[in-house]
């Protein structure tokens, strides 16, 4: 075990969160569960940005600025996604994504 925190610790943590997000995205049937997995993946990417801002280019803190952009986009994505989920629920009486296949040929 290394005695000091390094960039690698944060990158591995971010990779774990991102991988768990992919797992949820591939296996969830519930549309809201899928949106939550996407939030996990956003967080993994954001940890990467902040870690690079701390360890690689600390003088120009571009990583932190871009994390703000990521959080903004995540908020917009959640708003639109949940509005679509509610509309689907109103029309289909369920939000299981494997039942919503009316666009499939």
Partner 1 sequence: MSMLIFYILAIVAVVSALMVVTLRNVFHSALFLVLTLFSVAGIYVLLEAEFLAAVQVLIYVGAITILMIFAIMLTYQITSKSIRQVNEQVIPAVIIVLVFFVLSLVTLIKTSWPVSNKSLPGNNTFEIGRQLLSTYVIPFEVVSIVLLIALIGAIIISRQDGPSRPGQEDR
* Residues 1-60 within binding reach of partner 1 (CB under 8 A): 3-13, 15-24, 26-30, 32-33, 35-37, 39-40, 43, 46-47, 50-51, 53-60
Complex with partner 1: residue 3 or 105, whichever CB lies closer: 3
Q: Tokens 């075990």: give the residue.
A: 1
Do 83 and 36 form a contact (C-beta atoms < 8 A)? Answer: no
| CB neighbour list of residue 24: distance below 8 Å, 6 or more residues apart | 33, 34, 36, 37, 40
Select 26 or 103, whichever has its Cβ closest to partner 1. 26
Q: State in angstroms the smallest separation of the CB of 4 from partner 1.
A: 7
Query: How is residue 29 written in tokens?
Result: 């049937």
- Residues 58 to 87 in contact with partner 1, rule: CB under 8 A: 58-62, 64-65, 67-69, 71-80, 82-87
| Torsion, CA 60, CA 78, CA 81, CA 63, rounded to 10 | 10
Residue with Cβ nearer partner 1 (29 or 105): 29
Q: State the number of binding residues for partner 1 (CB under 8 A).
A: 73
């Amino acid at each position: 075990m290394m005695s000091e925190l390094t960039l690698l610790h944060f990158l591995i943590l971010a990779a774990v969160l991102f991988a768990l997000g992919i797992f949820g995205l591939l296996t969830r049937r519930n549309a809201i569960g899928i949106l939550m997995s996407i939030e996990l993946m956003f967080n993994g990417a954001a940890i990467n940005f902040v870690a690079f801002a701390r360890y690689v280019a600390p003088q120009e803190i571009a990583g932190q600025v871009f994390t703000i952009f990521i959080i903004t986009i995540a908020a917009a994505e959640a708003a639109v996604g949940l509005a679509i989920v509610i509309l689907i629920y109103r029309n289909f009486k369920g939000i299981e994504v494997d039942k919503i296949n009316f666009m499939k040929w």
